[in-house]
Each structure stands twice: as C-alpha cells, then as structure tokens.
Structure 1
C-alpha cells in the first residue's frame, strides 16, 4: 500500500497515451541498461539508449496533449525521456558533487516494468520456477536447524502462485477455441493450430506439466517430505519451541504443512482439467478440419452454409420460403441416420405386443444344449448331400418330401439355417410358405434352389 501512495496521478497517463507501445518499449530498454550499469544511468546514456532503440525500430512518435511546441522541436529520444520523467515513470537525481544528472527507476515503476517484461518474456515458465522453489524451500526448512516458519510460508506462497498459474492457463483456453472458429480455410486453421496452440500451450506450458514430467518428479519428493515431517513428532515440537522463542506464533507448523499438501492436491485437479480441455481442443480442431475439407461437398456442410446465410442476411422469411420450395430438408441423410418422424402405435397394438412378448418363453438350459448338439451333429457336406438327394431338377420342395424320422427333420432345419448364410451354395425362394404336417412333424413348405439359378 505504501508504494501505491507514492505513485503520482500523471503516472497512469501512459496507459491512455497514443504512444503507449513506444513508452513501454523505451522503459524496457532503459531497464536493461539500468541493470547492466549497476542501477545508475546518466541522462546522456538514457538518450543514447533511446536513440539506438529508435534506429532499430523507427518509431513514429505522435504528439501528446501535454506537450508544447518547444517540446515538439526536440529529438524523439529527448521527447520520450522528458515525457517519462514528467509523468513519474523515471526520476531525476542531481549529483552536485560530480555535476551529473542521474536517471533512476522508482520502486513503484519497477513493479510495472517487471510486469511488462513478463508479458514479453519467453524465459522459464512460472510452473517450472514455482515447483522448484517449493521443493528447495521445504527441504531447507526440514534440514536447516536455523530455519523459521517464514520459509514454510514462502513455500505456501509459491504453491498458491503455481495454482494460479495453472488456473490462468486453463482460463486462457477459451481464446484458442475462439481463434479456431475464426479460421475460414484449411491452411489457416492448420497454421493457427501449429503456430498458435502447439507453440504457446503444448510446448511452453502443457509440455512442462506432462511431457517432461517436471511437476511429477518434484511432486512425489515434496509429498514424501511433508509426510515425514508430519510423522516426526519430536521435530514438530522442536519447530514449535523455536517459533515461540522467536515470537512467531501466527501459524502452526502442521497447519502450514496441511495447506501446502492441500495445494498440491488442487494442482492435481487443475492438471486433470487441463487434460480435459486439451482433449476437447484437439477434438474440436479435427472436427473443424474435416468440416473445412468436406464443407462444400458434404450434405451437412452445405446445410450449415445455407443456415448461416439465412441467419446473416435480412429477409429470413423470404429465404426460408425459397429454400422450402427447392429443397427437402427432412431427408434422412440430411439430418441423421434415424427417421425424422416415426408413427406411434395405438394403445391396443401396444398392449397386444406386450402380451405377445410376455407369452414368448426363453429356452431353458436343456433346450439350448439340445440345439447345440443338433448344430454340431451334421457336417456341411452332409447337409448339402441331403438337399441334393431331394432335389427335383433345380428345386427342392419341402412340401413334397416325406419326413420319416427325427434325423431327417433335423437335417431340414439345418438346411434352412445353412441356406440363409452368405457363403451357402443354396438359397430359399422368397415366398410365404404354408405349414406342412405329417408323421407328427410340422414345418414350412420351403423351396431350395442353387444360387445363381
């Protein structure tokens, strides 16, 4: 809160300025030289740094509302430095001993410059930095007798920062879905996926969590360290005694360990959610690619284009009427594999169908075994021989046969089963045969013919 009080009102004008990007770039360049020169720059060095920046980028500096005509006559480097000093982003310190004007970066300005660097940096990701910090802090706290509870609080802060970094990563997934839908061609979509999502998420962030197993290597050791500290009651009491001696009674060591442990459980859940979002994005990308490939030839793709055109332009009623005159939108292949409308049966038919299903009895175990024995009793050659024996010309008519015993009746059943298969040499004429009763057997008057006849 103390730094916020020191910020002048003109400080915030940078974010409203027409030259905002130029000023931010200038601050980053000055900060790089500032660190290299041991955090002390003369006015001349700042002018030279800004001149080099302008020579590389060739900025077009526009006029600010607060600038006068005399300000506009200065060089771009001097104008940038003067504006940053006037608004409080930089501070001037006069060294009267050496008669030199030094430029320094105030503390509150350094906070924002650090944020600008993080927004433009491709360095090590936060997920990697925080997990290493937690790992190092916990092991130092456990093995260093001079360690205090402040180290444990530092580990908790980094655990929460890691959780927030993962949550921010998860929340930023929606922008990739939005960019996915904006692409209108196959090449643009593939470029967006490879240069956008794969580069920004998979290789820089998701890769750290999954591929390199960086998080999981440290996680198991951290969990083990926390468990060992909890179980060591003598060590816990010693930490509490040292904390009381130092006057640090705000938190208990077990409470802090529980919070860190719970934080790592939350990290597991966020990584699981990240896996789901990653799977959804890949599936959406593949679906979008397939649509762009077949959108002009596939029926559903054409229907989608038609609906989008109706929704985009005016006169929807007229377009719908013309569409209805030219197209049958209720075709099965246009909507789904199932029919659009299925006529419902009457209540009487429904009740009779239920009664018929209730009367149908399932085969018991003995009947199933008996059917299996019949199936395996005769070979395919024996069934074909039975059909050929009873053929007259090219047709075997079951109504003209004389079934004498159980064996012939079983062969007739298997002949029918054999004739319904694709690789069978025989087929059944498509009729509605009558039932034949003789010698105590009842069977349909089937007619068998050779295939191709």
Structure 2
C-alpha cells in the first residue's frame, strides 16, 4: 500500500504555497482547541472566530493561492479566515459534522490529520526523555518478577520495549548531533555559526547530553538488570515460557525458544546502548571542536577590522626572515594600510613594559560611615522592592503576558513595542522565556524583521498557552 492510498494527494498543498506559515499556524491553533475534546471537534462559530482573530492579528489581507482559490477574494479578516478554513477542509485536514436537533454544527479534525498534528506538535514541543526512568523501571520489574503472575506480559515484554525505546531516543540524539555538524560545513556567516553553536548548547547539551551523563546516568542499573536477565534464563524460565504460551498462543517448545531470544535481545540492546553512548561522546567532542574552529576562522576572515589585521600580521610573519628586518623601515605593498616606525627612532627602551613601584605605602583608616536615617532606609527599601517588581523574571514575564493577552487571542511584538514602550525589556523577556516549561504563553516567530523605537528585531506573535 502506498502512502497516498491513505492520504489525500492535496493534503500537503496548503503547506507548500506562499501562505504555508499561515496554514501551519491555523492548524496548530485548531489542534490546541480540539486536542482535549472527545471527538477532536470544535463548533463552527468558534472555529470562525478563531480564524478571524488570527487574521486580525496579522493586520493585513493576504493574497490567496490562485491554484486552489480561483476567482476568490477577501476584503476583511472574517471572510479571509473562512477561505483559509475552507481550503483546509477541501485538503482533508478538517471535516464537517452534522449536529443534532437544535445543536450547533461542528467541524472536526480528520483521523489522519490527528496523527499528523500529533507529530507536528511533538516537533514544535519535543518531549524531554528521562533516560534513567526507563532503566529504573526495568530494574524494578526484574527484581519483582517472583511476585508477578504474568512474568512475560508484564515484565520481560515491557523491559524489551523500554530498551528499544531508549536506544531509539539515543539514536535520535546522536543523529541530531550529526545534523548540527553537517550544518556547520555549509557557508554561513560568523553570527550564524555562533547562533548554531548556542542552539546546540540549549537543545542538545543541556536538554539531553548533560542529563544522561550526570543525573540520568544510563548504566547505574546495568549490573542489576543483567542479573535479572540471568534469572530469566534460570529460575523463571518455565514461568516465562508458560505465560508466553498463554499470551502468544504458541507451543511450549516455541515459547521456550522465543523467551531465550527475547532475553538475548535485551542483552544486545544494553550492548548497543554502550556503543551509542561512545559514539555520542565522540560526536559531541567533534562538534564542539569544529564549531569553535569554524567560528574562529570565519571571524578572522569575514572582512572585519579584526580579520584584516590578522591577515596583515600573517603576511608579515611569512615575509620576515631575519630578526634585523624587524627594525628596518616598512617598504612593503602593505605600508599604505598602516605606518611602522623602526625602533631606532624611539629607542629600544621605549618598548619595555613600565615598572610599577613596590614600595610599601601606609594604609589610611577610612572614616566611619554616618548612620542611615529612617527616611533614607525606607527609600532604599522601596527602591529594592520596585527593582524586584520590574525585574525580568519568569513570574513577572508571565504576569505581563497575562496583561497584554487580556480578552485577546494573539498580540504581536511590534504592537507591544509601539504601545508598551516603557515595558520594552519585558517584551524581550517574552522571547527569552519562550522555551521555559513554566510559561503561560506561546510565541511564533516570523521571517519579517521590524523596527520600533530605535530597535530592530524579528517579529513574533504571542498567544495564551493552553
């Protein structure tokens, strides 16, 4: 069976046109509303209001794709939102549900769209893998096998699945390190190299690598798990085979062979895990080394003043052959860039570092500070409290987001910078804390760069986090 035997061939067309970001945002907004309902549906009125609010937030009427909307046009946010929703319905992302008597008609996500949007949401909000949790679970299951009535179904099968999931997570981590290395080999500006390095630190080193090397050390239960697997081939072998027969409906001889294979598979997964950790370590060291080297090279050869000076110094280092040449006048083609004076003009002692006097000096006792008045103490306390209230902390940023999103679905950073000029530092804080797990808002960046109040920044939208 081919993939497009299941999917509508037009399904991904909205996500490939010039308005692909708009459709992606609408789909994720619909997913946020529908993901908690019983049938992944939303009332048509609520869906229309959601699309209209989003279009109003954009502040402009977007041109439609002529291929899928021939002859259609929109003059306001409501009609444009309806056209965008209609195209999502025609492409198979949403479908209309008939309501009962005196019930509002509803629109639901299609079954295939639910699966795809779950994957999209996981890409946008990757889950943090707790590596030690799976090994701790495997350890406890194997330790308590003697009290388990279904040792194959509830213990060995679970342990095998967890080991496979754990190695899949490690492979993804290893592949992500490799993708960052590959990205660094392409043509990039120095700032892009540094940004990529910071992104790697945040998304790979802090989120995963540091954790499984420290608090989530993957081999703290390895010895106990191997001992539990030895018991599976020993004292629990008959109970495992009997339970395998009951669950999988096979003969006793087939069950005994299958159990031994499953135990060996778990052992192999532990060995694979060890090899993966070694590979991740090597890739991690390689990436950091290449990132620093590439950043240094590009910073020294990007046409900046620092790069030009480095090129000049490199030229002189290659051309000067004798020590006496250091004291001769510079008549090279590069002399027009700067002027070198022979040390004989100023004297050799001119280049010697200054000598600081080491004579001891008497230490004068500082006069005592006058006592602070009650009014001054209260004023200083008020200043400290005001500083705490204005500090860019997660709590203050969450409070600020709640204020600006009061009775609104979305708001743009440009609008906030124009109307909340005194709170510009908190607008920066919205972007800074956008990845914090305790935030009460979400942001979505756009490719557009805007200027306001003498500052230039990348436009982004703020919406309440569901």
Same fold (TM > 0.5): yes
Matched, 1:13 2:27: no
Deviation, 1:273, is 0.8
CA distance in 1, matches of 2:177, 2:215: 21
- Change beyond 3 A, Cα 1:119–1:19: same
Q: Say whether residues 1:176 and 2:180 are aligned partners.
A: yes
Aligned to 2:170: 166
SS in 1 for 2:97: strand
Native 8 Å contact 1:84 1:90 kept in 2: yes
Partner residue of 1:275? 281
Equivalent of 1:94 in 58, 79, 98: 98
SS of the residue 1:13 aligns to: coil
| Distance (whole Å) between structure 2 residues aligned to residue 215 and residue 230 of structure 1 | 24
Instruction: Report what 1:216 is aligned to.
Output: 219
Residue of structure 2 equivalent to 1:24: 24
Aligned counterpart, 1:445: none
Counterpart residue number, 2:232: 229
Of structures 1 and 2, the one scoring higher in RCO (CA 8 A, sep 6+) is 2
Question: So what's the TM-score if we normalise by structure 2?
Answer: 0.55
Displacement of 1:121 after TM fit? 0.5
Unaligned residue ranges in structure 1 (runs of 5+)? 307-325, 328-453
Partner of 1:255: 261
Structure 1 partner of 2:117: 113
- Tell me which residue corresponds to 2:50: 49
**Change over 3 Å in CA distance of 1:237–1:43 after alignment to 2:** same
Residues 54, 77 of structure 1: 8 Å contact kept? yes
Unaligned runs of 5+ in 2: 301-305, 319-332, 335-466
Distance 2:141 2:27 in 1: 33
- Tell me the matched-pair count: 303
Q: In structure 2, what is the Cα distance between the partners aligned to 1:269 and 1:225?
A: 22
SS of aligned partner of 2:233: helix
Task: Report what 2:69 is aligned to.
Answer: 67
Deviations 1:201-225 (A, max 9, x none): 1011212221323433454554443
Whole-angstrom CA distance in 2 between matches of 1:158 and 1:59: 50
Residue 244 of structure 1 pairs with residue 248 of structure 2 = no
The answer to whether the 8 Å contact 2:14/2:87 transfers is no
The answer to whether the 8 A contact 1:30-1:46 is kept is yes
Greater C-alpha Rg: 1
Q: TM-score scaled by structure 1?
A: 0.56
Distance in structure 1 (CA, Å) of the matches to 2:200 and 2:193 = 11
Deviation string 1:256-314 (CA, Å, 9 cap, x unpaired) is 121122112111101101111111222223434554468655689958xx9xxxxxxxx
1:145 paired residue number: 149
Task: Report matched runs for 1:262-301 at 5 Å.
Answer: 262-288=268-294, 291=297, 292=299, 296=308
Structure having the larger proportion of residues in helix: 1
